[in-house]
Amino acid sequence: MILGNHDRGKDSTGETLSKQIRVLGEKYCAWDLKVFNNQINLLSARPCSSGGGYYLSKEVKGVYGPITEQDSINKIIKCSEETIEEIPLIIMSHAGPSGLGSEPKSICGKDWKLPSLDWGDRDLSVAISQIQKRRKVDLVIFGHMHNRLKRNLGLREMFKIDSKGTIYFNTAVVPRYKTDEDGELLINFSWIEFEKKKLRHVSHRWYSESGEIREEDKFF
């Protein structure tokens, strides 16, 4: 789990954020690398990001200190140097990287007021471009920018592939719950499958409470 901008608390000491980190224990990820069963590298970027280039809240500073944009880039790259080359690399962040479009409907585009612009994280974007020079980045997953755009602008692009073959997947389907025409509760999950160390499937799925797939938007 990586925490988002609404998870950081509202105290300059960072104590609320620190409590959450302690509760999450080993499940918490920030500027970190976790390798699962020698199958997947999971690299986590800057915690509690609110997008918009680079911004470090007072709560994050209270826990981690005054980390500069270059410091954050260096942390992400340093984590990547410990990845296992032969298995896929997933990078996880709350906000996605910059460089993926500046329209309201872009995967990290600002939609709530004019002018529309790229609202991605610069530190993540720079780190990814540096990592791509050394190894393949299979997938970058993030949220923050909701699928339903403000100002009645429709739906956001939630999937993108760059020239290096890296897939970017926005998981922020909001709200996560809805009811179908029969009044049954459906729950949203972002679903990813690897087969023989290759990414084979990316979708948004709606499940019934009994675990049946009722709807699916397949991207890959």
Domain termination site, one of 152, 172, 192: 172
Q: What is the Cβ-side half-sphere exposure of residue 205, based on CA atoms within 13 angstroms?
A: 16
Number of domains in the chain: 2
Question: What band does 12 get if pLDDT is binned at 50, 70 and 90?
Answer: confident
Q: Give the model confidence (pLDDT) of 130-188 as tens digits.
A: 999 999 999 999 999 999 999 999 999 999 999 999 999 999 999 999 999 999 999 99
Mean pLDDT score across all residues of the chain: 96
Question: Which helix (H) or strand (E) element contains residue 127?
Answer: helix 122-132
Give the range of the structural domain holding residue 195, as residue numbers without chain letter: 175-220
CATH value at residue 64 = 3.30.750.180
- pLDDT > 90? residue 71: yes
Question: What band does 39 get if pLDDT is binned at 50, 70 and 90?
Answer: very high
Residues 92 and 185 in one domain: no
Structure tokens at 99: 């460089």
Residues 16 and 119 in one domain: yes
How much of the chain exceeds pLDDT 70, in percent? Answer: 100
